[in-house]
Amino acid sequence: MPSPLLLPYDGPHLKLRNRIAMAPMTRGRADDATGVPHPLTAQYYAQRAGAGLIVTEGIWPDVLGKGGPGIPGLVTDEQVAGWRAVTDAVHAAGGTVFAQLWHVGRMSHPLILPGGATPVAPSPVRIEGERIHTNQGCVDHVTPRAMTTAEAEATVAAFAAEARNAVRAGFDGVEVHGANGYLIQQFLAENTNRRIDKFGGSRTGRLRFALDVVEAVAAEIGPERVGLRISPHNPENEIAETDPEGTYRALVDALDPLGLAYLHIIERGAYGALADLRPRWSGTLIGNFNGPDPTSQRAGEQVLAVGLADVFSFGRLFISNPDLPARFAAGAPLTPHVPELVYGGGAEGYVDYPALAPQH
């Protein structure tokens, strides 16, 4: 029996060469001043084009959504041109690539933002227990500034504009980053959304920003080119969701009729989100686990075998195994990644992990 990960996928809006996705991973190598991707980024993703689907690292729709040094944008013509080189290289290698649209909200810092700007968020709730990496080392978080209603609406529009730029840059689609405690999840979660305008105050209010973003992006480029990533009950970045079932069932029920490209669920913590949400989602579902160690081939296979997802995404294994699907197929050994070389820098730890030698 071949691994279910290696079977082609023929979904409603996605046709993939296998059921292995490369999960979005920030690598911090863009030009920090311009937000243009590093010239080696095209080679990096082309090396990984054997994945059925590549989701890029998170890319900001507005510079206030930038969460660290060397994070790329997709706003200026120069940034669009930089990403065009990436999509051309992935397509030449036969791959499919979606851009991840990522606004970090409160997970930024005046040392990261232009002009020393204060980060924006649904409400002025500061990260207390963690520090943030900047060009001047790790520092305490500041209290974010609450977005006005007009600013939240403008940010929805910025996501839609970024999606338009993604299509201009040649991407096959976009993934809205609604996970891991960044801006969209800050609107969804009870502890970070204390608003009393239309973007808060009740479950319906907390869901509104996520729904408005996805709907605006879908209206801009077509729902069949839009995925959404969520991480229900993920405590990362000091998110505390008191009713994940209620929040995410309502979110999924509202989005299912749109006919999106996919829903990408990171399962972590006590809430079995894949099992709970799978029956409510009629489209393509991508699963992901985010544990202390890189998720194994076997874990992904089990999820597909029991029907909890159609495609499974792997992150860390792709950093150091550019030809991961071929290694899964061959049962070949996997190379561990070097943690010190994950973020920033150039070629080392980025494009110099070799593929398996060809078999004769």
Ligand X SMILES: Cc1cc2nc3c(=O)[nH]c(=O)nc-3n(C[C@H](O)[C@H](O)[C@H](O)COP(=O)(O)O)c2cc1C
The set of long-range contacts for 25-28, using a CB threshold of 8 Å and a minimum separation of 24, is 25/57, 25/315, 25/316, 25/318, 25/319, 26/57, 26/58, 26/68, 26/71, 26/343, 27/57, 27/70, 27/342, 27/343, 27/344, 27/350, 28/68, 28/69, 28/70, 28/71, 28/343, 28/344
290 lines the binding site for ligand X (CB under 6 A)? yes
CB 61, min distance to ligand X, A = 14
Using CB under 6 A as the binding rule, the residues of this chain from 200 to 229 that contact ligand X are 229
Cα dist from 172 to 31, 53, 213, 288, whole Å: 24, 10, 19, 21
22 lines the binding site for ligand X (CB under 6 A)? no
CB 313, min distance to ligand X, A = 7
Using CB under 6 A as the binding rule, the residues of this chain from 328 to 347 that contact ligand X are 342
41 lines the binding site for ligand X (CB under 6 A)? no
Which residues are marked as active site? Answer: 182
Please select the residue that binds ligand X; options are 16, 20, 21, 23, rule is CB under 6 A.
23
186 lines the binding site for ligand X (CB under 6 A)? no
Please select the residue that binds ligand X; options are 314, 328, 350, 353, rule is CB under 6 A.
314
Q: Of 292 and 333, which has the nearer Cβ to ligand X?
A: 292
Can you name the residues that pair with 285 across neighbouring β-strands? 263
Q: Of 54 and 146, which has the nearer Cβ to ligand X?
A: 54
Interface region with ligand X, contact rule CB under 6 A, candidates 150-158, 210-218, 233-241, 309-317: 309-317
177 lines the binding site for ligand X (CB under 6 A)? yes
- As a dihedral over the C-alpha atoms of residue 80, residue 65, residue 21, residue 234, rounded to 10 degrees, the angle is 180
Please select the residue that binds ligand X; options are 35, 52, 58, 349, rule is CB under 6 A.
58
| 8 A C-beta contact, residue 287 and residue 308 | yes
Please select the residue that binds ligand X; options are 3, 41, 79, 100, rule is CB under 6 A.
100
Interface region with ligand X, contact rule CB under 6 A, candidates 17-25, 130-138, 255-263, 274-282: 17-25
Please select the residue that binds ligand X; options are 18, 26, 47, 108, rule is CB under 6 A.
26
Q: Of 23 and 42, which has the nearer Cβ to ligand X?
A: 23
Q: Of 23 and 85, which has the nearer Cβ to ligand X?
A: 23
Rounded to whole angstroms, the Cα distance separating 331 from 352 reads 22
Cα dist from 185 to 69, 105, 225, 239, 333, whole Å: 22, 9, 21, 8, 37
| Signed CA dihedral, 298, 304, 309, 311: sign only | positive
Using CB under 6 A as the binding rule, the residues of this chain from 63 to 82 that contact ligand X are none
Residues that bind ligand X (CB under 6 A): 23-26, 57-58, 100, 102, 177, 179-180, 229, 266, 288-290, 294-295, 314-317, 342
